[in-house]
Amino acid sequence: MPSPYDPLKNLKVLESKPITVRRFFEKNRLRLRFTSANGLENSARLIPEKNLHRPGLALAGYVELFTYHRVQVFGNTEIKYMESLSHAEQLQAFARLFQFEIPCIVVTNGNTLDPELVAIATQHDVPVFYSRYETTKAIYFMSDFLDDQFAPKTAIHGAFIDVYGVGVLFIGRSGIGKSEIALDLVERGHRLVADDVVVVTQKGEGILMGSGTDLVKHFMEIRGLGLIDIRAIFGIRAIRFQKRLEIIVQLEEWDDAHDYERTGLDTREVPVLGVQIPHVRLPIFPGKNVTVITEVIALNYLLKHYGYDAATEFSNKLKTRLEEKARDESDDRAIDWFEHDFE
């Protein structure tokens, strides 16, 4: 029977808000080696989506399908086209872009714009940034950042731990002991990613990344004790800022009426943001060592990842043994005979 508490049911996708050009510049300034051509790097203009645009057709006069609301990228093609025009034609072609609300312009490959063109952009309060990177590399970095900013996200109540390099998310009703188990795992050398609120972001097809919130970070609430700072107590080795979500462990009170998984042959998965994630329903009761069981869950996941499935292996051995019994060739002992060592 299904658990009465299902924290994964009806997860809400968090709405992605437009980001400012100021944030875009600040977060990419070092890795893209951005410089501002007109001093408008603190602009509050908004970038409403993740896609970029090459405005070659718009410069040539065709603006019917001009996606002006995107970051405009001037690579070698756009620059060479502008250089092929007379000075007056350059001014006319460039000014045509500013009939629309452009967020900003990024010029790549170490190219620069004529000062009069920069002045037109400044007149319309449109920031112009230069990058020394070639267009392909610059677009890759900008797309990576914008993909992350506008990626589907959701918030899950739980505790997220890196156990032997496997991202394990504990979920369950409030007060069931998620934080206490996470604390025990940290004490055993594993790493806390987030407690209480875990922000899960879809990165590419089939990949979910989890992190904490900016406010909580690596603080943890232990009932009866209060708030503790995992980083301050255990040091930098005890935390991570992000981790791929690979397993969800749902903690629930033991129910004698429920038929829990005993062989591991039936792998259960649950959808999170459209991605199927392995799901383990773990019944708990006083005295049960959930910490060690979690470590085994992580190690078993790694074994499966590298091609070894203990449940399938045992099933195959059982099938072979039954076939041998049918032929009267089997022995119930684990060894064929006792050697001359009677320890």
Answer whether 103's CB lies under 8 Å from 21's CB. yes
**pLDDT, tens digit, for every residue of 48-86?**
999 999 999 999 999 999 999 999 999 999 999 999 999
- CA 164 to CA 167: how far, in whole Å? 8
- For the segment 267-274, the average pLDDT, to the nearest whole number, is 90
**pLDDT, tens digit, for every residue of 129-182?**
999 999 999 999 999 999 999 999 999 999 999 999 999 999 999 889 899 999
**Amino acid 246: pLDDT:** 96
153-305: CATH superfamily: P-loop containing nucleotide triphosphate hydrolases (3.40.50.300)
With 0.85 as the threshold, say if the pTM is over it. no
**Amino acid 333: pLDDT:** 65
Res. 317 pLDDT band, cuts 50 70 90: confident
**pLDDT, tens digit, for every residue of 180-210?**
999 999 999 999 999 999 999 998 788 999 9
**pLDDT, tens digit, for every residue of 139-149?**
999 999 999 99
The catalytic site residues sit at 157, 178, 196, 262
State the residue for tokens 């970051």: 71
- CA 251 to CA 267: how far, in whole Å? 17
Structure tokens at 272: 């999170």
Instruction: Provide the percentage of residues in the chain whose pLDDT is more than 90.
Output: 71
Instruction: Provide the percentage of residues in the chain whose pLDDT is more than 70.
Output: 93
Q: How far apart are the first and last CA of the chain?
A: 48
Q: Who wins on pLDDT, 14 or 331?
A: 14
Structure tokens at 115: 């000062």
Res. 336 pLDDT band, cuts 50 70 90: low
Q: Who wins on pLDDT, 327 or 70?
A: 70
CATH 3.40.50.300 boundaries in the chain:
153-305
- CA 170 to CA 5: how far, in whole Å? 13
Query: 285 pLDDT exceeds 90?
Result: no
3-state secondary structure string across the chain = CCCCCCCCCCCCCECCCCEEHHHHHHHHCCCCCCEECCCCCCCCCEECCCCEECCHHHHHCCCCCCCCCCEEEECHHHHHHHHCCCHHHHHHHHHHHCCCCCCCEEECCCCCCCHHHHHHHHHCCCCEEECCCCHHHHHHHHHHHHHHHCCCEEEEEEEEEEECCEEEEEECCCCCCHHHHHHHHHHCCCEEEEEEEEEEEECCCCCEEEECCCCCCCEEEECCCEEEEHHHHHCHHHECCCEECCEEEEEEECCCCCCCCCCCCCCCEEEECCEEEEEEEEEECCCCCHHHHHHHHHHHHHHHHCCCCHHHHHHHHHHHHHHHHHCCCCCCCCCCCCCCCCC
CATH class of 19-149: alpha beta
As beta bridge partners, residue 196 has 158
- CA 240 to CA 161: how far, in whole Å? 9
CATH 3.40.1390.20 boundaries in the chain:
19-149
Answer whether 105's CB lies under 8 Å from 130's CB. no
